[in-house]
Amino acid sequence: MKGKIVITGATSGFGKACAELFAAKGWQLILTGRRNDRLLQLQQQLGSCVEQIIPLDVCNRDEVFKQLGSLKDVDVLLNNAGLALGLEPSWQVNIDDWEVMVDTNIKGLMYCTRALLPSMVKGNSGHIINIGSTAGEWPYPGGNVYGGTKAFVQQFSRNLRADLLGSRVRVTVLAPGMAESEFSNVRFKGDVESAAKVYQGAEALQPVDIAETVYWLVTRPKHVNINAIEMMSIDQAWGPLAVHRDND
């Protein structure tokens, strides 16, 4: 199967790995991201497979609808743009960080989906893949709003499937666990040392692992919808039930 895929957040991490893999498989790519210089580099790297690059902040509703709403014959929308900021407890967190996560992980995903979905429904074909996180299912200290936004991605994907029942438009939420990318650099705002400690002593998922899973999803037979995939490194699992004990 070859087709046309829109990838948000294509300039690094999962998005870049997906762009590289889908280009290698002969797909046509429409790549979006906030960093135009990186988009240009990726376009040069991948050549004629890149149909279009779109410098875009998914938080900008008007620009999303202007740039994506007119696209035609899109087979796959990969809602990959997202981020985590900070790991402080909820009473110490910077409220601006919370708002950026909500704007990007929730509103940005909604805007991109709403912009492209009408043409998919009209054509009775397409696949929306939303990148969630194990944080949407399994809480951890400091996850607070980030985990909340990823729980939204999970439930939003389920409700899209309910709305689309009877059409041939597919919806999947893919929820990776610990994965080694620029994600932690962003979370710790450029503190490379703190970011490196996240993966220290463990073999984390790599962006190519997510890219290969995305490619597998879109190449299932047209009558098959994979509702959700949760994936972790073999070195990651759920923790025991937390209990605070007063030892005085």
State which amino acid sits at residue 225.
Answer: N
**What is the C-alpha separation between 74 and 128, in angstroms, rounded?**
10
- In the block, residue with structure tokens 């762009």: 19
Other C-beta atoms closer than 10 Å to the C-beta of 153 total: 23
pLDDT of residue 1: 66
Residue 237 lies in a domain: no
Residue 118 lies in a domain: yes
Burial category of 102 from C-beta neighbours within 10 Å (exposed 0-12, middle 13-18, buried 19 and up):
middle
Helices (H), 124-191: 144-164, 183-187
Residue 245 lies in a domain: no
pLDDT of residue 136: 96
Residue 236 lies in a domain: no
Handedness of CA 96, 97, 99, 103 (dihedral sign): positive
Among the options 111, 140, 146, 199, which is catalytic? 146
pLDDT of residue 192: 75
Residue 88 lies in a domain: yes
The verdict on whether 146 is a catalytic residue reads yes
pLDDT of residue 76: 98
Give exposure, 105-122, as e/b (b: 16+ Cβ within 10 Å): bbbbbbbbbebbbebbee
State which amino acid sits at residue 10.
Answer: A
Handedness of CA 88, 91, 95, 100 (dihedral sign): positive
Residue 242 lies in a domain: no
pLDDT of residue 248: 67
Other C-beta atoms closer than 10 Å to the C-beta of 177 total: 19
Ordered per-residue pLDDT tens for the chain, 248 residues: 689 999 999 999 999 999 999 999 999 999 999 999 999 999 999 999 999 999 999 999 999 999 999 999 999 999 999 999 998 999 999 999 999 999 999 999 999 999 999 999 999 999 999 999 999 999 999 999 999 999 999 999 999 999 999 999 999 999 999 998 877 777 777 777 877 888 889 999 999 999 999 999 999 999 999 999 999 999 999 888 889 998 86
Which domain range does residue 102 map to?
4-231
Total domain count, the chain? 1
Residue 240 lies in a domain: no
CATH number at residue 104: 3.40.50.720
Residue 124 lies in a domain: yes
